[in-house]
Amino acid sequence: MKEMVRHTAGRVYLVLLLVSIVGFIVFLASGGTDAPEHGEAFLLFGWMTMPLVSGVAFVIFWLISYLIYFFFFWPYR
Amino acid sequence: MAFAISALSIFGLVIVLMAAYGYRISAKTAEDYMLGGRTIGVVVMFFFVLFAISSAWTFYGFPGLLYTQGPGYVMFIWGSVAGFAGLYMFLGPRLWALAKINRFLSPVEVLAERYRSPLLRLVLSLSILAFIVPYVGIQPLGVGAGFEALTGLPAIWGALYTTVILIVLVILGGMRIVAWVNIFLGVVYMTALLGSLAWAVQVLFPDAGLVEAASVLAQERPAMLSSPGPTGQYTPVVLGGTFIVGILAFSWPHVAIGCMTARDKSLFKWFPMLIFIFGGLFFYIIPFIWGSLVAPAAMPVAELEALAAENGVSLQTEADRVVQTIITRSLPQWFGVFVLLGVIAAAVSTAAVQLMTSSVIVSRDVIQGIFVPNARDEQITRWARIAVVAIVVLSLIVSFLYQGAMALYLTDVSVPGFAQWAPALVGGLLWKRGTKQGAIAGTITGVVYLVLSLLVVVDGERILVVGHPVIASLLANTIVYVVVSLVTPRPDEETETVFFDEVDAYLAAESGSR
């Protein structure tokens, strides 16, 4: 981790991951995975519930960030 | 019954033979026994770690809690994926390099030498052992529950079978064979988990599969399709807290020790990809679908309550084996046996790594580190093997006496306990100013607060728990660690050189830096 904070790409990477964690917690805290008060629960493709969809989106964000940083900017080969 | 016993015998025999082969080819050194000679590559490491963290809990406890409380508990998984990947991305390279340069054999040894404190070594060893040992025992007991659901025989037989396999595997094989056996166990486990889901969906919801299951729930138990779930447990605050608890998975000692077994640093570049793609986007979604969609749609909660009453157990205990119950009822018996093998594989793969980690700590950190500093290699290895048996017996007794819901034990007791060495670990690897006084004071504060918060109950409420047992205890631990470190003399120059400057230079030179 020390090697990451020593260059701009690493710092951007760390900030992005931190923002995604904070953003995800804010999303959860604001009731993003709850059903509408008088409506039906959100289902993607007819079966994927919001707790699943939001988590998958979170993991994909981390995956893309990791791929870009580790395969193009990581200071160690 | 004869088929089940035959299958269990063959399965057990394969593991025992692999362990015996591992014993024959091992170098008979402490480094080889405890860290697999530091030769684990990325593929073996992936199976090693993924199935070290995917226990009977993944098949029983996780779907069981989803079944009773809705999909909110999955936030623990999303946090864990980030935590495991974070361990390998942020801390792994330094932990690996430090251990390799200085021939350290345990993560506790790394920190004891970093802070130059035998007392910290004892404190960390005892606190880690206290929280990991009961979790080892949960695995055989978890298998016992599935064994009972499948065969109708007492759960103790399933627990004993798993225990014997576990002891033989760890005593003979050591860390390398535990890692290699995890490939075999992982394949069995994954096939059983995925195969059972695909087959059960086809049998139970033949018209539209998962969409049909979701529509059944939408009509009969709609609260299962969103948070806070049918019991209202997963409020926005609890969801966020569960996610944070998941992130703390980076501090699980039996996962952290995996970093020290790596063959080279390139592992830390590739490993997170497997965690994200295979773990986060595939593997853990299978038990989620089982517990949050298929099981509740296939078996109404009233029916499970009646079954729990019939068996004289709580609803949560019955829910912990709902997947096995549905498989037993709806799929051919031979497949139920195969699924049980998968669960045993999951239990053994996790408990074996936990056992290895515990025995390394007992032998290297407690016995050699405190009492017999000049012990020889063969003595350390022998003590580690003896410790395996002692830990298994102790863990089974503790787990049997304090049986509870499997999923909640992991998140409410083990994870908060494991997290108490996190400030000392992170600070020790990344913060030059961290001192032994800070690490000792922080760890003791966190552990004492955690134990008190679990034990002090007033009017049925754990009054010292703020949201989740880990939050206040870890916060207190971290604050004390930082404050005490800042008010005590900074570590000497030699510590800075050995634990920071040399590691930076080694990591840069070992594989070339840009």
Residue closest to B281 by CA, chosen among A26, A41, A33, A48: A48
B301-311 and B62-69 helices cross at what angle (nearest 10)? 120
| B164-176 tens-digit pLDDT | 888 888 888 888 8
Question: How far apart are alpha carbons B138 and B57 in whole angstroms?
Answer: 9
| Chain B neighbors of A74, CB-CB under 8 A | 269
Range name among A21-35, A46-60, B83-97, B339-353 with the lowest pLDDT average? B339-353
Q: Touching check for A37 and chain B: CB below 8 Å?
A: no
B289, B214 contact by CB (below 8 A): no
Higher pLDDT, B190 or A54: A54
Residue A5 has pLDDT above 90, yes or no: no
Alpha-carbon distance B71 to nearest alpha carbon in chain A (angstroms): 6
Question: How far apart are alpha carbons A14 and A4 in whole angstroms?
Answer: 8
B185, B173 contact by CB (below 8 A): no
Confidence bin at B380 (pLDDT 50/70/90): confident
| Residue appearing with tokens 């004892």 | B122
| Chain A neighbors of B225, CB-CB under 8 A | 35, 40-41, 43, 49
Range name among B70-74, B407-411, B474-478 with the lowest pLDDT average? B407-411
| B291-332 tens-digit pLDDT | 999 999 999 989 999 988 988 888 888 898 899 889 988 988
Is A64 within a domain? yes
Question: How far apart are alpha carbons B445 and B352 in whole angstroms?
Answer: 30
- What is the arithmetic mean of pLDDT over B471-500? 93
Long-range CB contacts for residues A12-21, cutoff 8 Å, separation at least 24:
A13/A65, A13/A68, A13/A69, A13/A73, A16/A65, A17/A62, A17/A65, A17/B82, A20/A58, A20/A61, A20/A62, A20/A65, A21/B82, A21/B247
Higher pLDDT, A37 or B327: B327
Confidence bin at B287 (pLDDT 50/70/90): very high
Q: Which domain holds residue A62?
A: 50-77
Confidence bin at B149 (pLDDT 50/70/90): low
Residue B447 has pLDDT above 90, yes or no: yes
Residue B513: per-residue pLDDT: 44
Residue B27: per-residue pLDDT: 65
Contact B74 A55 (CB under 8 A): yes
Token duo for residue B239: 């969801």
B265, A76 contact by CB (below 8 A): yes
| B44-72 tens-digit pLDDT | 888 888 887 777 778 888 899 999 999 99
Question: Which residues make Cβ contacts (< 8 Å) with residue B132, sequence separation at least 6?
Answer: B253, B254, B354, B357, B358, B414, B417, B418
Contact A45 B211 (CB under 8 A): yes
Alpha-carbon distance A10 to nearest alpha carbon in chain B (angstroms): 11
The secondary structure of B45-112 as a DSSP string is HHHHHHHHH--HIIIIIHHHHHHHH-GGGGHHHHHHHHHHHHIIIIIHHHHHHHHHHHT--SHHHHHH
Which of A11, A18, A25, A61 should be substituted to probe chain B, the one whose Cβ sees the most B Cβ atoms within 10 Å?
A: A25
Residue B506 has pLDDT above 60, yes or no: yes
| Helix/strand/coil (H/E/C) assignment for every residue in B281-340 | HHHCHHHHHHHHHHHHHHCCHHHHHHHHHHHCCCHHHHHCCHHHHHHHHHCCHHHHHHHH
Confidence bin at B511 (pLDDT 50/70/90): low
**Tally of domains within chain A:** 1
Contact B237 A67 (CB under 8 A): no
CATH code matching the domain that covers B2-401, chosen among 1.20.1730.10, 1.10.1370.30, 2.30.30.90, 3.40.50.2300:
1.20.1730.10
Q: Touching check for A76 and chain B: CB below 8 Å?
A: yes
Contact B71 A43 (CB under 8 A): no
Is A61 within a domain? yes
Range name among A56-60, B225-229, B485-489 with the lowest pLDDT average? B225-229
Q: Touching check for B276 and chain A: CB below 8 Å?
A: yes
- What is the arithmetic mean of pLDDT over B370-377? 86
Give me the total of CB pairs closer than 8 Å, taking one residue from chain A and one from chain B. 144
Residue B402: per-residue pLDDT: 65
The alpha helices in B91-173, defined as continuous H runs, are 92-102, 107-115, 118-151, 155-168
Contact B272 A66 (CB under 8 A): yes
Confidence bin at B133 (pLDDT 50/70/90): confident
Calculate the dihedral angle through the C-alpha atoms of B458, B459, B464, B467, rounding to the nearest 10 degrees: 170
Q: Give me the residue spans of the domains in chain B.
A: 2-401
| B8-29 tens-digit pLDDT | 888 889 888 888 888 887 767 8
| Chain B neighbors of A63, CB-CB under 8 A | 273, 276-277, 280-281
Amino acid identity at B494: E
Confidence bin at B81 (pLDDT 50/70/90): very high
Contact B213 A47 (CB under 8 A): yes
Q: Parallel, antiparallel, or unpaired for β A43-44 and A48-49?
A: antiparallel
Q: Touching check for B241 and chain A: CB below 8 Å?
A: no
- What is the arithmetic mean of pLDDT over B156-185? 84
Which of B81, B210, B269 minimises the CB distance to A74? B269
Shortest CA distance from B274: residue in chain A: A63
Which of A34, A42, A55 minimises the CB distance to B228? A34
- What is the arithmetic mean of pLDDT over B282-291? 93
pTM above 0.95, yes or no: no
Token duo for residue B274: 């497997």
Range name among A11-15, B111-115, B234-238 with the lowest pLDDT average? B234-238
Token duo for residue B459: 């009017």
| Interface ipTM | 0.95
The alpha helices in chain A, defined as continuous H runs, are 8-29, 50-72
Residue B458: per-residue pLDDT: 86
- A 39-68 near B (Cβ less than 8 A): 40-43, 45-47, 49-52, 55-56, 58-60, 62-63, 66-67
Residue B158: per-residue pLDDT: 81
Shortest CA distance from A2: residue in chain B: B430
| Chain B neighbors of A31, CB-CB under 8 A | 227, 236
Confidence bin at B410 (pLDDT 50/70/90): low
Residue B512: per-residue pLDDT: 46
Long-range CB contacts for residues B10-13, cutoff 8 Å, separation at least 24:
B11/B188, B11/B341, B11/B344, B12/B161, B12/B164, B12/B165
- In the predicted model, what is the mean pLDDT of chain B? 87
